[in-house]
Amino acid sequence: MMMIMTASMMTIMLSLAIMLLATLISKKMNEDREKSSPFECGFDPKNSARLPFSSRFFLIAVIFMIFDVEIALLLPMPIIMSTSNMKSWLIISSVFLLILIIGLYHEWNQGSLEWSN
């Protein structure tokens, strides 16, 4: 037992030492305006290098990720059907699909699925 604790403590200490060393080595000390600004043939930039971010695109991306996770949850349903009670599987699957359909209807009704307004 003592040997396992010693080995785990040594592993933690070694990991912390490596992370600390990597943090100290990776710091850039020479930070000036020219190096941090975008390069435009040696001239000062005409406008900001930061482009405005479309919140509409972000909303569509989040909805896509939600539906992507939902599909990942739906895929094992037919496989689980053969190993579980048919009545409980049918109830759970129906409730899950009903929740997904209600969510889709709500997003459609709110206009979240429209790309342009």
pLDDT in tens, 35-91: 666 665 666 656 666 667 777 788 888 888 888 888 888 888 888 888 888 899 899
Q: How far is CA 114 from CA 48, 59, 110, 117, in A?
A: 30, 10, 9, 7
| Whether the Cβ atoms of residue 56 and residue 111 lie closer than 8 Å to each other | no
pLDDT exceeds cutoff 70 at 107: yes
Rounded to two decimals, the pTM is 0.49
| Whether the Cβ atoms of residue 63 and residue 112 lie closer than 8 Å to each other | yes
Query: Rounded to the nearest 5 degrees, what angle is found at the Cα of 28, between the Cα atoms of 23 and 16?
Result: 5
Burial label, 89 (beta-carbon count in 10 A; 0-12, 13-18, 19+): middle
Would you place residue 95 in the very low, low, confident or very high pLDDT band (cuts 50, 70, 90)?
very high
Phi-psi category of residue 54: left, alpha or beta, with phi > 0 → left and psi -120 to 50 → alpha: beta
| Whether the Cβ atoms of residue 96 and residue 73 lie closer than 8 Å to each other | yes
Q: What is the pLDDT of residue 19?
A: 92
Q: What is the pLDDT of residue 37?
A: 63
pLDDT exceeds cutoff 90 at 26: no
pLDDT exceeds cutoff 80 at 94: yes
Radius of gyration of the chain measured on its C-alpha atoms: 27
Q: What is the pLDDT of residue 41?
A: 64
